[in-house]
Amino acid sequence: MSLRNLLIAIFALALSGCANSPPKSVESACSILSEKRNWYKASRKVEKKYSLPIHVQLAIIRQESSFRHNAAPPKKTLLGIPLWWRISSAYGFAQAKDETWEWYMEKTGNWGADRDNYGDAVDFIGWYSSVSQRTLGISKWDAFSQYLAYHEGHTGYKNNTYKGKPWLVSVAKKVESYSSTYAAQLAGCRNKLKSSAWWWPF
């Protein structure tokens, strides 16, 4: 084994225990991506592939899972007693449901994708945003509308189902706010993130 491969293996072992842990702070995009260099690489890849800005990716994930890889809805209850199944099949960073994730894998051919893998989750979000743009005309920079289509599905968004859900509109405004904040932060640290990413092996 070459010295480079040995160093990569050591890094991988050292980081394996914390790779999926949430970032220390979700308030700063610069802090998140400085701490999670592999996340920056994955998000940058999606930005190039799907033209979905990194700040929109982060805003959606923050709302959906607070950057927890194994986030899941609560379990159903009967007379206050938790049952085995959950109220939804949503899971992982992007909170994608079983059927939507299967649709994504079928359309992209990414059959090995896992919802608790950050790179796969942001690729899913990038792909979904492209469908939203193509079928609904939603700009990929419009975090508010992208989130509504993400939450309600393309048919639901087209039918304006969100208009009967004031709470959801409020959530979408939060996503828009997160996105704007992250965009401003990234403007000040993007070059630093980019220059420090080349040597990061993951």
pLDDT in tens, the chain (202 residues): 555 544 544 454 444 445 678 999 999 999 999 999 999 999 999 999 999 999 999 999 999 999 999 998 654 444 455 444 445 789 999 999 999 999 999 999 999 999 999 999 999 999 999 999 999 999 999 999 999 999 999 999 999 999 999 999 999 999 999 999 999 999 999 999 988 755 444 4
**What is d(CA 123, CA 53) in angstroms, rounded to the nearest whole number?**
12
The alpha carbon of residue 179 and the mean position of all alpha carbons in its chain are separated, in whole angstroms, by 12
Would 98 be classed as within a structural domain? no
Tell me the CA end-to-end span of the chain in Å, nearest whole number. Answer: 18
Which neighbouring-strand residues pair with 134? Answer: none
Let me know if 159 is exposed, middle or buried by CB neighbors in 10 A (0-12, 13-18, 19+).
Answer: exposed
Alpha-carbon distance of 60 to 37, in angstroms, equals 19
Tell me, what's the pLDDT at 17? 42
Beta bridge partners of 82: 77
Does 17 map to a domain? yes
105 found inside a domain: no
Domain that holds residue 174: 3-68+115-197
Q: What is the DSSP letter of 88?
A: -
Indicate the residue type of 67. Answer: F
3-state secondary structure of 164: helix
Q: How many domains does the chain have?
A: 1
How far apart CA 81 and CA 85 sit, in angstroms, is 12
Residue 202 inside a domain? The answer is: no
pLDDT of residue 72: 85
Q: Is 22 inside a domain boundary?
A: yes
Task: Name the β-bridge partners of 78.
Answer: 81
Report the pLDDT value the prediction gives residue 73, as an integer from 0 to 100: 66
**Does 193 fall in a domain?**
yes
Q: What is the pLDDT of residue 6?
A: 47
* Cα(14)–Cα(159) distance, integer angstroms: 49
Residue 162 inside a domain? The answer is yes
Q: Is residue 90 part of a domain?
A: no
